[in-house]
Amino acid sequence: MISFFHTIHIFSKTASSTINFYESFIQTSLKLRNILKFEFFFSPRQIFIDELNQTVVFFAKDFSPKDASSDEWRVKFGEYFKDWGEATVYMGLVGELLESYSTIMKFLKANPGVVLDKKQLIARLVNYSSELNEEGQIQFPESISVQNFSNGILSCENKGYLQLEKSEDLMAYRVAPWDHETEKMMSDIDGFLDLLNKSPSKLVKSFYKSV
């Protein structure tokens, strides 16, 4: 559902003739899969795409997503969601996870080159996110989670944002230099988080005005 509304949002800002709705939907879903791959057991890439197609048909009966126009996507999903507000139930499910990852990325950006063991890093992240929460910058307070941060650290290690350093008596993480890739990752995560603040019905109305 996040991928669907993200694509709706893209179409409301872009001439619909310049992008394909289905391809944009798939690429958005793959971005989310990449962000959250340490949270869920996703199928291999092609099987995952096949599963996405099956899920789309669950919401949009008698529908061929690859061949459908952007307006057909909107109409078919609208038949399922008589009230677009009901979609927020699905969209908010991963909000806390996205915010945990957003907090980690902000922390990494502010602390390039810092070396911390895992316990120290988690403690710093909890303190950092608590400060953000006190400043009103946290949307999902439940995102301040040791488990979420632990999985996020593994994800950042896998992507090279945290570099593991080992010695005889110490294993610690060094925060990698901030670069274009990490900036894009933070932008993608925050883009999804921002989407959760938007009303589905307003997103659809904005899309309808653009087509």
Profile the chain (211 residues) by mean pLDDT over runs of 10 residues.
Answer: 88 67 92 92 92 88 82 86 83 90 97 94 96 94 94 95 84 94 95 88 74 51
pLDDT value of residue 16: 52
Domain span at residue 160 reads 95-187
What pLDDT is stored for residue 138 in this prediction? Answer: 93
pTM of this structure: 0.88
Continuous H helices in 2-117: 2-13, 21-35, 45-59, 70-80, 88-91, 95-110
Q: What is the pLDDT of residue 176?
A: 96
**For residue 210, what pLDDT is reported?**
55
Element (H, E) at 139: none
State phi, psi for 115 to the nearest 5 degrees.
Answer: -115, 125
**203 shares a domain with 156:** no
Residue 176 neighbours by CB under 8 Å, 6+ apart: 108, 112, 160, 161, 162, 163, 182
42, 33 contact by CB (below 8 A): yes
101 and 182, same domain (yes or no): yes
158 and 199 part of one domain: no
- How many structural domains are present in the chain? 2
Considering the domain architecture, whether residues 6 and 73 belong to the same structural domain is answered as yes
